[in-house]
A = this chain, B = another copy of it.
Amino acid sequence: MKHRVVVVGAGFAGLQLVQDLDGAGCEITLIDQRNHHLFQPLLYQVATTLLATSEIAWPIRRILRRRRDVTTLLATVTGIDRAAREVVLGDGGRVPFDTLVVATGARHAYFGHDGWEADAPGLKTLEDATTIRRRLLLAFERAELARDPAERAAQLTFAVIGAGPTGVELAGIIAELAHRILPGEFRRIDTRKARILLIEAGPRILPAFIPSLSAYAARALERRGVEVRTGVPVTDVGREGIVLGEQPLPARTVIWAAGVQASPAAGWLGAKADRAGRVIVGDQLALPDDPQIFVLGDTAHVENDGQPVPGVAPAAKQQGKHAARQIRARLQGKPPPGPFRYRHMGNLATIGRNAAVIDFGRFQMKGRLAWWVWGLAHIYFLIGARSRLMVSLSWLWSFLSGQNSARLITQKETLRERP
Protein backbone atom coordinates (compact mmCIF):
# COMPACT_ATOMS: atom_id res chain seq x y z
CA MET A 1 0.00 0.00 0.00
CA LYS A 2 1.20 3.46 -0.83
CA HIS A 3 2.25 5.93 1.83
CA ARG A 4 -0.73 8.21 2.51
CA VAL A 5 0.03 11.90 2.89
CA VAL A 6 -2.83 14.16 3.91
CA VAL A 7 -2.28 17.89 3.46
CA VAL A 8 -4.68 20.34 5.07
CA GLY A 9 -4.52 23.78 3.46
CA ALA A 10 -3.61 24.71 -0.13
CA GLY A 11 -1.83 27.96 0.60
CA PHE A 12 1.79 28.63 -0.26
CA ALA A 13 3.19 25.97 2.11
CA GLY A 14 0.74 23.17 1.37
CA LEU A 15 0.75 23.64 -2.38
CA GLN A 16 4.56 23.82 -2.53
CA LEU A 17 4.81 20.58 -0.57
CA VAL A 18 2.36 18.80 -2.86
CA GLN A 19 4.23 20.02 -5.92
CA ASP A 20 7.55 18.87 -4.48
CA LEU A 21 6.15 15.40 -3.78
CA ASP A 22 5.57 14.84 -7.51
CA GLY A 23 6.83 11.38 -8.38
CA ALA A 24 7.51 10.39 -4.76
CA GLY A 25 5.00 7.57 -5.02
CA CYS A 26 2.70 8.75 -2.24
CA GLU A 27 -1.07 8.82 -2.24
CA ILE A 28 -1.81 12.44 -1.45
CA THR A 29 -5.10 13.97 -0.29
CA LEU A 30 -5.20 17.76 -0.30
CA ILE A 31 -8.02 19.27 1.74
CA ASP A 32 -9.02 22.92 1.69
CA GLN A 33 -12.23 24.72 2.63
CA ARG A 34 -11.97 26.87 -0.51
CA ASN A 35 -11.76 25.68 -4.09
CA HIS A 36 -8.93 28.06 -4.91
CA HIS A 37 -5.33 28.81 -4.09
CA LEU A 38 -5.03 32.51 -3.38
CA PHE A 39 -2.09 34.79 -4.11
CA GLN A 40 -2.44 36.72 -0.86
CA PRO A 41 0.29 39.32 -1.49
CA LEU A 42 -1.95 40.99 -4.09
CA LEU A 43 -5.20 40.63 -2.18
CA TYR A 44 -5.14 44.29 -1.20
CA GLN A 45 -5.36 45.16 -4.90
CA VAL A 46 -8.65 43.28 -5.16
CA ALA A 47 -9.88 45.10 -2.06
CA THR A 48 -9.04 48.40 -3.70
CA THR A 49 -10.50 47.77 -7.18
CA LEU A 50 -7.25 47.36 -9.09
CA LEU A 51 -7.52 43.63 -9.81
CA ALA A 52 -10.39 41.21 -10.30
CA THR A 53 -10.75 38.20 -8.03
CA SER A 54 -10.08 35.70 -10.80
CA GLU A 55 -6.71 37.29 -11.55
CA ILE A 56 -5.12 36.20 -8.26
CA ALA A 57 -6.92 32.93 -7.46
CA TRP A 58 -6.84 29.57 -9.24
CA PRO A 59 -8.88 26.42 -8.73
CA ILE A 60 -6.72 23.99 -6.77
CA ARG A 61 -7.94 21.10 -8.92
CA ARG A 62 -6.88 22.93 -12.01
CA ILE A 63 -3.33 23.48 -10.72
CA LEU A 64 -2.99 19.79 -9.85
CA ARG A 65 -5.01 18.26 -12.70
CA ARG A 66 -2.09 16.23 -14.08
CA ARG A 67 -1.20 14.81 -10.70
CA ARG A 68 -2.97 11.45 -10.67
CA ASP A 69 -1.49 10.86 -7.20
CA VAL A 70 -3.40 13.81 -5.70
CA THR A 71 -7.05 13.80 -4.65
CA THR A 72 -8.38 17.29 -3.90
CA LEU A 73 -11.26 17.64 -1.47
CA LEU A 74 -13.23 20.80 -0.82
CA ALA A 75 -14.07 20.20 2.82
CA THR A 76 -13.87 21.72 6.28
CA VAL A 77 -11.63 20.02 8.81
CA THR A 78 -13.11 19.91 12.30
CA GLY A 79 -10.50 17.86 14.11
CA ILE A 80 -7.58 15.49 13.95
CA ASP A 81 -7.75 12.08 15.60
CA ARG A 82 -4.08 11.47 16.39
CA ALA A 83 -4.72 8.07 17.94
CA ALA A 84 -6.63 6.74 14.92
CA ARG A 85 -4.36 8.68 12.51
CA GLU A 86 -7.34 10.30 10.78
CA VAL A 87 -8.42 13.79 9.79
CA VAL A 88 -12.07 14.45 10.69
CA LEU A 89 -14.19 16.39 8.17
CA GLY A 90 -17.21 18.60 8.76
CA ASP A 91 -19.58 16.10 7.16
CA GLY A 92 -18.35 13.36 9.51
CA GLY A 93 -16.06 11.82 6.91
CA ARG A 94 -12.58 10.68 7.97
CA VAL A 95 -9.39 10.66 5.94
CA PRO A 96 -6.64 8.33 7.21
CA PHE A 97 -2.99 9.39 7.00
CA ASP A 98 0.48 8.03 7.48
CA THR A 99 1.99 11.50 7.26
CA LEU A 100 -0.04 14.61 8.03
CA VAL A 101 0.80 18.15 6.95
CA VAL A 102 -1.14 21.00 8.55
CA ALA A 103 -0.75 24.34 6.77
CA THR A 104 -4.01 26.13 7.47
CA GLY A 105 -2.68 29.67 7.69
CA ALA A 106 -3.81 32.48 9.91
CA ARG A 107 -6.65 34.94 10.36
CA HIS A 108 -6.46 38.50 11.60
CA ALA A 109 -6.40 38.92 15.37
CA TYR A 110 -7.97 41.66 17.42
CA PHE A 111 -5.92 41.24 20.59
CA GLY A 112 -8.89 40.30 22.73
CA HIS A 113 -11.34 42.64 20.98
CA ASP A 114 -13.06 40.19 18.66
CA GLY A 115 -16.12 42.43 18.64
CA TRP A 116 -14.16 44.91 16.51
CA GLU A 117 -14.18 42.61 13.50
CA ALA A 118 -17.64 43.64 12.23
CA ASP A 119 -16.58 47.28 11.97
CA ALA A 120 -12.92 46.77 11.11
CA PRO A 121 -12.62 43.79 8.77
CA GLY A 122 -9.22 42.30 8.03
CA LEU A 123 -7.90 41.03 4.73
CA LYS A 124 -7.15 37.34 4.36
CA THR A 125 -9.66 35.86 1.89
CA LEU A 126 -11.33 36.84 -1.38
CA GLU A 127 -14.54 37.47 0.58
CA ASP A 128 -12.65 39.84 2.89
CA ALA A 129 -11.38 41.66 -0.19
CA THR A 130 -14.81 42.07 -1.78
CA THR A 131 -16.24 43.15 1.59
CA ILE A 132 -13.62 45.86 1.94
CA ARG A 133 -14.05 46.89 -1.69
CA ARG A 134 -17.78 47.21 -1.17
CA ARG A 135 -17.35 49.31 1.97
CA LEU A 136 -14.80 51.61 0.38
CA LEU A 137 -16.98 52.28 -2.66
CA LEU A 138 -20.18 52.57 -0.62
CA ALA A 139 -18.59 55.18 1.64
CA PHE A 140 -18.16 57.54 -1.32
CA GLU A 141 -21.71 56.76 -2.50
CA ARG A 142 -23.14 57.46 0.96
CA ALA A 143 -21.18 60.67 1.21
CA GLU A 144 -22.73 61.78 -2.09
CA LEU A 145 -26.19 61.04 -0.67
CA ALA A 146 -25.59 62.47 2.83
CA ARG A 147 -27.48 65.61 3.78
CA ASP A 148 -25.69 66.12 7.13
CA PRO A 149 -22.14 67.56 6.75
CA ALA A 150 -20.84 65.63 9.78
CA GLU A 151 -22.14 62.37 8.31
CA ARG A 152 -20.61 63.26 4.98
CA ALA A 153 -17.23 63.89 6.63
CA ALA A 154 -17.41 60.62 8.57
CA GLN A 155 -18.20 58.73 5.37
CA LEU A 156 -15.15 60.35 3.77
CA THR A 157 -12.82 59.31 6.60
CA PHE A 158 -10.95 56.05 6.12
CA ALA A 159 -8.81 54.53 8.86
CA VAL A 160 -6.31 51.75 8.26
CA ILE A 161 -5.08 50.25 11.52
CA GLY A 162 -1.61 48.73 11.45
CA ALA A 163 1.28 49.93 9.30
CA GLY A 164 3.01 46.81 8.09
CA PRO A 165 3.23 46.31 4.32
CA THR A 166 -0.52 45.54 3.98
CA GLY A 167 -1.56 48.64 5.91
CA VAL A 168 0.82 50.85 3.96
CA GLU A 169 -0.33 49.42 0.64
CA LEU A 170 -4.01 49.81 1.51
CA ALA A 171 -3.62 53.40 2.70
CA GLY A 172 -1.61 54.34 -0.38
CA ILE A 173 -4.09 52.90 -2.82
CA ILE A 174 -7.14 54.34 -1.02
CA ALA A 175 -5.47 57.74 -1.31
CA GLU A 176 -5.08 57.14 -5.05
CA LEU A 177 -8.75 56.25 -5.35
CA ALA A 178 -9.78 59.46 -3.58
CA HIS A 179 -7.27 61.81 -5.21
CA ARG A 180 -6.67 60.47 -8.65
CA ILE A 181 -9.35 58.04 -9.76
CA LEU A 182 -12.69 59.18 -8.37
CA PRO A 183 -12.52 63.01 -8.66
CA GLY A 184 -14.79 64.23 -11.42
CA GLU A 185 -17.28 61.41 -11.01
CA PHE A 186 -19.20 62.87 -8.07
CA ARG A 187 -21.28 66.05 -8.22
CA ARG A 188 -21.99 66.84 -4.57
CA ILE A 189 -18.73 65.88 -2.89
CA ASP A 190 -15.06 66.45 -3.62
CA THR A 191 -13.44 63.07 -3.11
CA ARG A 192 -10.07 64.80 -2.71
CA LYS A 193 -11.31 66.05 0.66
CA ALA A 194 -11.38 62.47 1.95
CA ARG A 195 -9.16 61.81 4.97
CA ILE A 196 -7.12 58.63 4.87
CA LEU A 197 -5.42 57.76 8.16
CA LEU A 198 -2.74 55.14 8.63
CA ILE A 199 -2.53 54.34 12.33
CA GLU A 200 0.33 52.53 14.02
CA ALA A 201 0.72 51.94 17.74
CA GLY A 202 4.49 51.50 17.36
CA PRO A 203 6.95 54.32 16.83
CA ARG A 204 7.22 54.01 13.01
CA ILE A 205 5.52 52.49 9.99
CA LEU A 206 7.00 49.40 8.29
CA PRO A 207 8.83 48.28 11.45
CA ALA A 208 10.43 45.31 9.63
CA PHE A 209 12.30 47.72 7.30
CA ILE A 210 15.33 49.86 8.13
CA PRO A 211 14.36 53.25 9.64
CA SER A 212 15.35 55.32 6.60
CA LEU A 213 12.92 53.37 4.38
CA SER A 214 10.18 53.79 7.00
CA ALA A 215 10.79 57.53 6.95
CA TYR A 216 10.76 57.61 3.14
CA ALA A 217 7.51 55.64 3.02
CA ALA A 218 5.87 57.96 5.58
CA ARG A 219 6.85 61.02 3.53
CA ALA A 220 5.69 59.40 0.28
CA LEU A 221 2.34 58.51 1.85
CA GLU A 222 1.87 62.02 3.19
CA ARG A 223 2.62 63.53 -0.20
CA ARG A 224 -0.16 61.31 -1.55
CA GLY A 225 -2.64 62.58 1.02
CA VAL A 226 -2.36 59.97 3.78
CA GLU A 227 -2.22 61.14 7.41
CA VAL A 228 0.33 58.92 9.14
CA ARG A 229 -0.21 58.59 12.90
CA THR A 230 2.43 56.61 14.76
CA GLY A 231 2.83 55.95 18.48
CA VAL A 232 -0.89 56.08 19.12
CA PRO A 233 -2.95 53.02 20.00
CA VAL A 234 -6.50 52.38 18.86
CA THR A 235 -8.46 51.91 22.07
CA ASP A 236 -11.92 51.32 20.64
CA VAL A 237 -13.62 50.49 17.33
CA GLY A 238 -17.34 50.85 16.74
CA ARG A 239 -19.95 51.53 14.12
CA GLU A 240 -19.34 55.29 14.24
CA GLY A 241 -15.58 55.17 14.07
CA ILE A 242 -12.55 54.61 16.27
CA VAL A 243 -10.95 56.04 19.39
CA LEU A 244 -7.31 57.03 19.03
CA GLY A 245 -5.81 57.06 22.50
CA GLU A 246 -8.64 59.03 24.11
CA GLN A 247 -9.67 60.98 21.00
CA PRO A 248 -12.80 59.78 19.18
CA LEU A 249 -12.47 59.87 15.41
CA PRO A 250 -15.63 59.45 13.33
CA ALA A 251 -14.71 57.14 10.46
CA ARG A 252 -17.24 54.90 8.73
CA THR A 253 -14.67 52.76 6.96
CA VAL A 254 -12.06 51.05 9.10
CA ILE A 255 -9.72 48.31 7.92
CA TRP A 256 -7.74 46.09 10.24
CA ALA A 257 -4.17 45.28 9.25
CA ALA A 258 -2.71 45.02 12.72
CA GLY A 259 -2.29 41.41 13.73
CA VAL A 260 -2.79 37.78 12.93
CA GLN A 261 -3.81 34.71 14.83
CA ALA A 262 -3.03 31.21 13.64
CA SER A 263 -5.83 28.86 12.63
CA PRO A 264 -7.08 26.46 15.35
CA ALA A 265 -4.65 23.70 14.36
CA ALA A 266 -2.98 23.66 17.78
CA GLY A 267 -6.33 22.74 19.33
CA TRP A 268 -6.93 19.97 16.78
CA LEU A 269 -3.51 18.53 17.50
CA GLY A 270 -3.42 19.11 21.25
CA ALA A 271 -0.04 20.70 20.62
CA LYS A 272 1.85 23.50 22.34
CA ALA A 273 1.33 26.92 20.77
CA ASP A 274 2.78 30.40 21.13
CA ARG A 275 0.71 33.46 22.05
CA ALA A 276 -0.47 33.92 18.46
CA GLY A 277 -1.77 30.34 18.42
CA ARG A 278 1.03 29.01 16.22
CA VAL A 279 2.06 25.42 16.84
CA ILE A 280 5.61 25.16 18.16
CA VAL A 281 7.50 22.74 15.92
CA GLY A 282 11.03 21.37 15.91
CA ASP A 283 13.75 22.21 13.41
CA GLN A 284 12.36 19.56 11.05
CA LEU A 285 8.97 21.39 11.13
CA ALA A 286 7.25 18.40 12.77
CA LEU A 287 5.64 18.08 16.19
CA PRO A 288 8.32 17.38 18.81
CA ASP A 289 6.47 14.22 19.91
CA ASP A 290 5.23 13.09 16.50
CA PRO A 291 7.61 13.32 13.53
CA GLN A 292 4.86 12.20 11.11
CA ILE A 293 2.89 15.38 11.71
CA PHE A 294 4.24 18.53 10.09
CA VAL A 295 2.95 22.03 10.72
CA LEU A 296 3.96 24.69 8.19
CA GLY A 297 3.58 28.33 7.24
CA ASP A 298 1.59 30.82 9.28
CA THR A 299 0.26 27.99 11.43
CA ALA A 300 3.73 27.11 12.72
CA HIS A 301 6.12 28.75 15.14
CA VAL A 302 9.62 27.99 13.87
CA GLU A 303 12.77 29.55 15.25
CA ASN A 304 16.04 30.21 13.50
CA ASP A 305 18.89 31.44 15.73
CA GLY A 306 16.35 32.25 18.43
CA GLN A 307 14.31 34.42 16.05
CA PRO A 308 10.85 33.33 14.87
CA VAL A 309 10.61 32.89 11.12
CA PRO A 310 8.24 35.60 9.76
CA GLY A 311 4.79 34.76 8.40
CA VAL A 312 5.46 35.62 4.79
CA ALA A 313 4.93 33.75 1.52
CA PRO A 314 8.59 32.91 0.83
CA ALA A 315 8.96 31.39 4.33
CA ALA A 316 5.86 29.25 3.80
CA LYS A 317 7.14 28.00 0.44
CA GLN A 318 10.56 27.19 1.89
CA GLN A 319 8.89 25.21 4.66
CA GLY A 320 6.80 23.30 2.14
CA LYS A 321 9.96 22.42 0.23
CA HIS A 322 11.76 21.33 3.38
CA ALA A 323 8.97 19.08 4.60
CA ALA A 324 8.66 17.47 1.16
CA ARG A 325 12.39 16.74 1.20
CA GLN A 326 11.97 15.15 4.65
CA ILE A 327 9.12 12.92 3.52
CA ARG A 328 11.03 11.82 0.43
CA ALA A 329 14.13 10.99 2.50
CA ARG A 330 12.08 8.87 4.89
CA LEU A 331 10.34 6.98 2.09
CA GLN A 332 13.69 6.22 0.50
CA GLY A 333 15.23 5.26 3.85
CA LYS A 334 17.80 8.03 3.50
CA PRO A 335 19.07 10.23 6.36
CA PRO A 336 16.97 13.35 6.96
CA PRO A 337 18.05 16.70 5.52
CA GLY A 338 19.61 19.17 7.93
CA PRO A 339 17.41 21.38 10.06
CA PHE A 340 15.17 23.95 8.36
CA ARG A 341 16.97 27.21 7.62
CA TYR A 342 14.96 30.26 6.55
CA ARG A 343 16.55 32.29 3.78
CA HIS A 344 15.26 35.84 3.96
CA MET A 345 14.49 37.21 0.50
CA GLY A 346 13.82 40.80 1.55
CA ASN A 347 10.88 42.95 2.52
CA LEU A 348 8.78 44.71 -0.13
CA ALA A 349 5.94 47.20 0.04
CA THR A 350 4.35 49.50 -2.51
CA ILE A 351 3.17 52.94 -1.53
CA GLY A 352 1.45 53.98 -4.73
CA ARG A 353 2.11 54.80 -8.35
CA ASN A 354 5.86 54.99 -8.89
CA ALA A 355 6.76 54.43 -5.26
CA ALA A 356 7.78 51.32 -3.37
CA VAL A 357 10.36 50.32 -0.80
CA ILE A 358 12.48 47.17 -0.88
CA ASP A 359 14.78 46.10 1.92
CA PHE A 360 17.07 43.29 0.81
CA GLY A 361 19.07 43.50 4.05
CA ARG A 362 22.37 44.14 2.31
CA PHE A 363 20.97 46.94 0.19
CA GLN A 364 17.79 48.92 -0.20
CA MET A 365 15.74 50.41 -3.02
CA LYS A 366 13.03 53.00 -3.06
CA GLY A 367 10.94 55.06 -5.46
CA ARG A 368 10.15 54.37 -9.09
CA LEU A 369 12.71 51.63 -9.72
CA ALA A 370 11.63 49.77 -6.59
CA TRP A 371 8.05 50.02 -7.81
CA TRP A 372 8.90 48.33 -11.10
CA VAL A 373 10.98 45.65 -9.38
CA TRP A 374 8.08 45.03 -7.00
CA GLY A 375 5.65 44.66 -9.91
CA LEU A 376 7.85 42.33 -11.93
CA ALA A 377 8.58 40.17 -8.87
CA HIS A 378 4.89 39.75 -8.19
CA ILE A 379 4.01 38.95 -11.78
CA TYR A 380 6.79 36.36 -11.78
CA PHE A 381 5.30 34.57 -8.78
CA LEU A 382 1.76 34.37 -10.16
CA ILE A 383 0.58 30.97 -11.38
CA GLY A 384 0.26 30.41 -15.10
CA ALA A 385 0.69 32.49 -18.22
CA ARG A 386 -2.92 33.66 -18.22
CA SER A 387 -2.76 35.32 -14.82
CA ARG A 388 0.58 36.93 -15.64
CA LEU A 389 -0.89 38.33 -18.84
CA MET A 390 -4.13 39.50 -17.25
CA VAL A 391 -2.50 41.11 -14.20
CA SER A 392 0.09 42.79 -16.42
CA LEU A 393 -2.67 44.14 -18.64
CA SER A 394 -4.73 45.35 -15.68
CA TRP A 395 -1.74 47.15 -14.25
CA LEU A 396 -0.72 48.58 -17.58
CA TRP A 397 -4.28 49.74 -18.19
CA SER A 398 -4.45 51.39 -14.80
CA PHE A 399 -1.05 53.00 -15.31
CA LEU A 400 -1.91 54.43 -18.72
CA SER A 401 -5.57 55.31 -18.24
CA GLY A 402 -5.51 56.28 -14.59
CA GLN A 403 -8.49 53.98 -14.09
CA ASN A 404 -9.05 50.86 -12.04
CA SER A 405 -11.07 48.18 -13.68
CA ALA A 406 -12.81 46.30 -10.87
CA ARG A 407 -14.85 49.01 -9.18
CA LEU A 408 -17.90 46.86 -8.59
CA ILE A 409 -20.12 46.81 -5.56
CA THR A 410 -21.45 43.27 -5.50
CA GLN A 411 -23.15 41.15 -2.84
CA LYS A 412 -26.63 41.82 -1.67
CA GLU A 413 -28.02 44.28 0.85
CA THR A 414 -25.47 46.79 -0.28
CA LEU A 415 -27.21 49.89 0.92
CA ARG A 416 -28.85 48.50 4.01
CA GLU A 417 -25.77 46.96 5.59
CA ARG A 418 -24.42 48.98 8.54
CA PRO A 419 -26.76 51.95 7.86
Q: For the complex, is A344 an interface residue (Cβ under 8 Å from B)? A: no
User: A127's contact among B89, B127, B410, by CB below 8 Å, is which?
Assistant: B410
Pair B408/A397 contact, Cβ less than 8 Å: no
Pair B408/A57 contact, Cβ less than 8 Å: yes
Q: For the complex, is A61 an interface residue (Cβ under 8 Å from B)? A: yes
Q: Which residues of chain B have C-beta atoms less than 8 A from A90's C-beta?
A: 415
Stretch of A204-212, A313-321, A386-394 contacting B (4+ beta carbons < 8 Å): A386-394
A386-419: which have CB < 8 Å to B? 386, 389-390, 393, 397, 401, 403, 405-412, 414-415
**How long is the Cα–Cα vector from A130 to B33 in the complex, in angstroms?**
18
Q: Which residues of chain B have C-beta atoms less than 8 A from A137's C-beta?
A: 35
* A106, chain B: closest CB distance, angstroms: 18
* A194, chain B: closest CB distance, angstroms: 15
Stretch of A8-16, A67-75, A158-166, A245-253 contacting B (4+ beta carbons < 8 Å): A67-75
Q: For the complex, is A289 an interface residue (Cβ under 8 Å from B)? A: no
**How long is the Cα–Cα vector from A412 to B92 in the complex, in angstroms?**
20
Pair B386/A405 contact, Cβ less than 8 Å: yes
Q: For the complex, is A303 an interface residue (Cβ under 8 Å from B)? A: no
Pair A33/B145 contact, Cβ less than 8 Å: no
Q: Which residues of chain B have C-beta atoms less than 8 A from A34's C-beta?
A: 409, 414
User: A65's contact among B54, B57, B184, by CB below 8 Å, is which?
Assistant: B184
User: A93's contact among B147, B393, B407, by CB below 8 Å, is which?
Assistant: B147
Pair B141/A410 contact, Cβ less than 8 Å: no
Q: Which residue of B lies closest to A394 (CB)?
A: B390
Q: Which residues of chain B have C-beta atoms less than 8 A from A71's C-beta?
A: 187-188
A16-69: which have CB < 8 Å to B? 33-36, 52-55, 57, 59, 61-62, 64-66, 68
Q: Which residues of chain B have C-beta atoms less than 8 A from A93's C-beta?
A: 145, 147
Q: Which residues of chain B have C-beta atoms less than 8 A from A59's C-beta?
A: 185, 407-408
Pair A401/B386 contact, Cβ less than 8 Å: yes
Given the known inter-chain contacts A35-B141, A390-B393, A397-B386, please indicate yes or no for A407 contacting B185, CB distance below 8 A. Answer: no
User: A412's contact among B52, B127, B393, by CB below 8 Å, is which?
Assistant: B127
Pair A409/B76 contact, Cβ less than 8 Å: no
Q: For the complex, is A111 an interface residue (Cβ under 8 Å from B)? A: no
Q: Which residues of chain B have C-beta atoms less than 8 A from A190's C-beta?
A: none
**How long is the Cα–Cα vector from A408 to B52 in the complex, in angstroms?**
11
Pair B145/A62 contact, Cβ less than 8 Å: no
Centre residue among A91, A127, A144, A408 by max chain B CB count within 10 A = A408
Given the known inter-chain contacts A407-B59, A408-B36, please indicate yes or no for A145 contacting B65, CB distance below 8 A. Answer: no
Q: Which residue of B lies closest to A182 (CB)?
A: B61
Pair A61/B408 contact, Cβ less than 8 Å: no
User: A52's contact among B52, B65, B185, B401, by CB below 8 Å, is which?
Assistant: B52
Q: For the complex, is A380 an interface residue (Cβ under 8 Å from B)? A: no
**How long is the Cα–Cα vector from A415 to B231 in the complex, in angstroms?**
43
**How long is the Cα–Cα vector from A6 to B278 in the complex, in angstroms?**
57
**How long is the Cα–Cα vector from A407 to B59 in the complex, in angstroms?**
6
User: A407's contact among B62, B68, B73, B405, by CB below 8 Å, is which?
Assistant: B62
Q: Which residues of chain B have C-beta atoms less than 8 A from A360's C-beta?
A: none
**How long is the Cα–Cα vector from A147 to B127 in the complex, in angstroms?**
30
Could you name 24 residue pairs across A and B whose Cβ atoms are closer than 8 Å?
A: A35-B141, A36-B408, A52-B52, A53-B53, A53-B408, A54-B406, A59-B185, A61-B185, A62-B185, A62-B407, A65-B185, A66-B184, A68-B187, A72-B185, A74-B415, A75-B415, A90-B415, A93-B145, A127-B412, A386-B397, A390-B390, A390-B393, A390-B405, A411-B411
